[in-house]
Amino acid sequence: LAREATLLILPTVGAVNTGELLIDWGEMSGLSDKERMEQEEQKAKLIDQVLELQTTLDELSTRVDSVKGENEKLKSENVILTQYIENLMPAQSKPKPGRGPPAGKR
Protein backbone atom coordinates (compact mmCIF):
# COMPACT_ATOMS: atom_id res chain seq x y z
CA LEU A 1 0.00 0.00 0.00
CA ALA A 2 2.82 2.44 0.85
CA ARG A 3 4.56 1.62 -2.40
CA GLU A 4 1.41 2.50 -4.40
CA ALA A 5 1.19 5.86 -2.65
CA THR A 6 4.83 6.51 -3.43
CA LEU A 7 4.30 5.71 -7.09
CA LEU A 8 1.89 8.62 -7.26
CA ILE A 9 4.63 11.10 -6.38
CA LEU A 10 7.26 9.73 -8.75
CA PRO A 11 7.31 11.07 -12.31
CA THR A 12 6.08 8.64 -14.93
CA VAL A 13 6.74 10.87 -17.91
CA GLY A 14 9.92 12.84 -18.48
CA ALA A 15 13.37 12.40 -17.06
CA VAL A 16 14.52 11.73 -13.52
CA ASN A 17 18.08 12.65 -12.61
CA THR A 18 19.23 10.81 -9.49
CA GLY A 19 22.79 12.08 -9.69
CA GLU A 20 23.98 8.59 -10.60
CA LEU A 21 21.70 7.81 -13.49
CA LEU A 22 19.28 9.51 -15.81
CA ILE A 23 16.03 7.70 -16.53
CA ASP A 24 13.62 8.86 -19.19
CA TRP A 25 10.39 7.01 -18.48
CA GLY A 26 8.81 8.24 -21.71
CA GLU A 27 11.31 6.32 -23.85
CA MET A 28 10.90 2.92 -22.20
CA SER A 29 8.55 1.67 -24.94
CA GLY A 30 11.40 1.49 -27.48
CA LEU A 31 13.70 -0.55 -25.23
CA SER A 32 14.56 -4.22 -25.47
CA ASP A 33 13.29 -6.55 -22.77
CA LYS A 34 16.70 -6.53 -21.08
CA GLU A 35 16.92 -2.73 -21.13
CA ARG A 36 13.32 -2.42 -19.92
CA MET A 37 14.10 -4.83 -17.09
CA GLU A 38 17.17 -2.78 -16.12
CA GLN A 39 15.09 0.40 -16.19
CA GLU A 40 12.42 -1.25 -14.03
CA GLU A 41 15.12 -2.35 -11.56
CA GLN A 42 16.45 1.20 -11.42
CA LYS A 43 12.93 2.48 -10.89
CA ALA A 44 12.39 -0.05 -8.09
CA LYS A 45 15.66 1.05 -6.45
CA LEU A 46 14.56 4.68 -6.61
CA ILE A 47 11.22 3.78 -5.08
CA ASP A 48 12.98 1.89 -2.28
CA GLN A 49 15.27 4.88 -1.69
CA VAL A 50 12.27 7.22 -1.51
CA LEU A 51 10.52 4.89 0.94
CA GLU A 52 13.66 4.69 3.08
CA LEU A 53 14.04 8.47 3.05
CA GLN A 54 10.38 8.91 3.97
CA THR A 55 10.83 6.55 6.90
CA THR A 56 13.96 8.38 8.02
CA LEU A 57 12.18 11.73 7.76
CA ASP A 58 9.26 10.40 9.80
CA GLU A 59 11.63 9.08 12.47
CA LEU A 60 13.50 12.39 12.62
CA SER A 61 10.25 14.32 12.85
CA THR A 62 9.11 12.11 15.73
CA ARG A 63 12.45 12.62 17.48
CA VAL A 64 12.23 16.41 17.04
CA ASP A 65 8.75 16.41 18.60
CA SER A 66 10.04 14.30 21.49
CA VAL A 67 13.00 16.61 22.11
CA LYS A 68 10.73 19.67 21.97
CA GLY A 69 8.51 18.14 24.65
CA GLU A 70 11.51 17.25 26.79
CA ASN A 71 12.88 20.78 26.36
CA GLU A 72 9.59 22.33 27.52
CA LYS A 73 9.55 20.05 30.56
CA LEU A 74 13.12 21.02 31.46
CA LYS A 75 12.34 24.71 31.03
CA SER A 76 9.41 24.35 33.42
CA GLU A 77 11.57 22.52 35.97
CA ASN A 78 14.24 25.21 35.60
CA VAL A 79 11.71 27.94 36.44
CA ILE A 80 10.65 26.04 39.57
CA LEU A 81 14.26 25.49 40.67
CA THR A 82 15.10 29.15 40.03
CA GLN A 83 12.18 30.25 42.20
CA TYR A 84 13.21 27.79 44.92
CA ILE A 85 16.79 29.07 44.92
CA GLU A 86 15.63 32.70 44.97
CA ASN A 87 13.41 31.92 47.98
CA LEU A 88 16.37 30.32 49.80
CA MET A 89 18.69 33.28 49.25
CA PRO A 90 17.00 35.78 51.60
CA ALA A 91 16.70 33.08 54.29
CA GLN A 92 20.46 32.51 54.23
CA SER A 93 21.37 36.20 54.39
CA LYS A 94 19.28 36.85 57.55
CA PRO A 95 21.27 36.51 60.82
CA LYS A 96 20.12 33.64 63.01
CA PRO A 97 18.60 34.63 66.37
CA GLY A 98 20.88 34.36 69.39
CA ARG A 99 24.08 34.66 67.41
CA GLY A 100 26.06 37.82 67.23
CA PRO A 101 28.37 38.90 64.45
CA PRO A 102 31.56 36.89 63.95
CA ALA A 103 34.38 37.49 66.46
CA GLY A 104 36.48 39.55 64.08
CA LYS A 105 33.65 41.99 63.27
CA ARG A 106 32.84 43.23 66.78
pLDDT tens readout for residues 51-92? 999 999 999 999 999 999 999 999 999 999 999 999 888 766
% of the chain at pLDDT higher than 70: 58
Q: Kindly give the residue spans of alpha helices, DSSP state H, lying in 1-106.
A: 2-9, 33-93
Expressed in percent and rounded to 5, the helix, strand and coil fractions of the chain are 75, 5, 20
CA distances, 24 to each of 32, 38, 41, 47 (Å): 15, 13, 14, 15
Distance CA 38, CA 27 (A): 13
Task: Convert the pLDDT of each residue in 96-105 to its tens digit.
Answer: 666 555 666 5
Whole-prediction pTM value?
A: 0.48
Q: How confident is the model at residue 2 (pLDDT cuts 50, 70, 90)?
A: very low
Distance CA 101, CA 106 (A): 7
Distance CA 34, CA 46 (A): 18
* Secondary element (H or E) of residue 23: strand 22-24
